[in-house]
A and B are shown apart, each in its own frame.
Chain A
Amino acid sequence: MDHTALSLIELGGVFFVLGVLGRLAGRIGLSPIPLYLLGGLCFGSGGLIPLTDIGDFTHLASEIGVVLLLLLLGLEYSAAELFTGLRRSWTAGLLDIVLNALPGAAVALLLGWGPIGAIVMAGVTYISSSGIVAKVLGDLGRLGNRETPVVLSILVFEDLVMALYLPILTAILGGVSFLGGLEAVGISLLVITVVLVIALKFGRYVSAIVDSDDREVFLLKILGAALLVAGLASAMQVSAAVGAFLLGIAVSGSTAHNATRLLEPLRDLFAAVFFVVFGLNTDPASIPPVLGWAVVLALVTTLTKVGTGWWAARRQGIGKLGRARAGAALVARGEFSIVIAGLAVTAGAVDGELAALATAYVLLMAILGPTAARIVEPVARALQRKPREQRTEATA
């Protein structure tokens, strides 16, 4: 069989299996991300059926997947929403960083992965999956709940932190000197500020440039613009993903709305490839040695996220049950933890075990998160009831 035929067969097989896995995930009410990672582990080196002929395609496709993930994240927000979100949630946001980045950093240092590994793992354990969280809130009918805006504004804060963190990480991973790193950070801060100001003041012109009534023209223009901006950002060491995120913020109103609808299936396709590629590059045999640490991290960072949500909700005058719901809603980690780990692994600046730990951790958290959000209410009610029952027994 010639190379093209074999590539098509392999690619078709991978997509088909992913489709089946995605359906399975939908059935049991889970995010498909952990299943895509598992799929990647099966197909990769050391897995069940190693696929070797689709490397060129999947490499580029996974890059596009990251660009689309961030572009659609940016499209979800308007610049004004980002600023209000920031004003409302910065104290909770800071607590979120401290509580949830520290465990990851600490474990990386304990395992001897050095400061770079610590920065990467801090990002992996810090960022909640806004995709999973938003879906779970919708599925559980909690959009009307009073604690939901608290949860959403923490997610907005996290996404903005990502816009700062990713370029810094790219600079550090690029192995530039301390001064060069500062320069990269300075440039990226400047670019982000300029883009946010443009988005806030002239967002409708940016929208007008990419907008079109013709679906095909619109799709080509928005996708073209995203890849161009991502490429240019990457050339300036600001990280391709952040470029796409900022473009997404600058596009607003009905243009953003239409773009989201048009790009969603594309994002799902390419993001799935991204998760698979990450799984492909991870040797399943490297997971068991780090599994213990992954479990420890999962337990600790579940508690720290619940604590973050609890504290933030209490400040808004939400009752105890609502605080518990807000905390549990934030637990899920997913796409961005893998984006961060993926950047680090591609740059080759970190220990290979880090990819294994990140995979195992996200596998656990992507399952733990939705489960925690579902069971938090009965658990919290049971906990509330217990002391009262004991009290009545005591008085009797």
Chain B
Amino acid sequence: MNVEVTPLPGIGVRKDFATRAGRRIGVVTQRDGKIELIVSKADDVDACLASLPLTADEAGALANLLGAPQLVAQLTEEHRELPGIHTRQLPITEDGLFDGRTLGDTAMRTRTSVSVVAVARAGQVHPSPTPDFTFTAGDLLVAVGTSEGLDAAAKILKQG
């Protein structure tokens, strides 16, 4: 992907790239750390349809939403050779039981034989989380296991 980095003297940096559909999408990072998501107009590629100010948390959440499925897709691709093994992303929700509790608390592996291979949080992937890894709402667990095991794991995260 050809990301164009353009300095904005006195203001910050613009990083954007052109999508296949011909739109420009990217981020303006201001000196004081303010982040804006920019999307170009359809009829005027020079101008922006929107420049949405995002907090660090919001930017992280958006990166998660975009990045986690890609990670899962990559793992699925790698596991295709192994029949019966699947990869799925499981969210930690605010109304779920494990917001603020650890991976060990879920006893996921013992109960379902499912392995949590990574946790995506705030745009970053934490690989191979240990049992004392504490979840917070918004985390996405990348789990590997059998189809039934993954269903059971999703149920545990929701209902305990």
Interface residues, chain A, CB within 8 Å of chain B? 76-77, 81-82, 84-85, 130, 134, 138, 141-149, 152-153, 155-156, 257, 261, 318-319, 321-322, 325, 377
Contacts and interface: CB of A to CB of B under 8 A. Distances in A.
Contacts of A318: 46
Given A319-B45, A319-B46, A322-B46, A143 B28 contact: yes
Interface residues of B, number: 25
Contacts of A142: 47-48, 51
Given A144-B16, A257-B32, A321 B47 contact: yes
Interface of B: 6-12, 14, 16, 24, 26, 28, 30-32, 36, 38, 40, 44-48, 50-51
Given A134-B11, A319-B45, A141 B51 contact: yes
Most buried by A among B12, B14, B26, B40: B14
B46 A321 contact: yes
A156 B11 contact: no
B45 A144 contact: no
A77 B9 contact: yes
Contacts of A84: 7, 9
Contacts of B48: 141-142, 144-145
Nearest to A141: B51
Contacts of A149: 6-9, 14
Contacts of B26: 144
Nearest to A151: B8
B18 to A, nearest CB: 11
A152 B10 contact: yes
Contacts of B32: 257, 261
A205 B155 CA distance: 59
B149 to A, nearest CB: 45
In order of increasing CB-CB distance, the 5 nearest A-B pairs are A144-B38, A322-B46, A76-B10, A146-B46, A144-B48
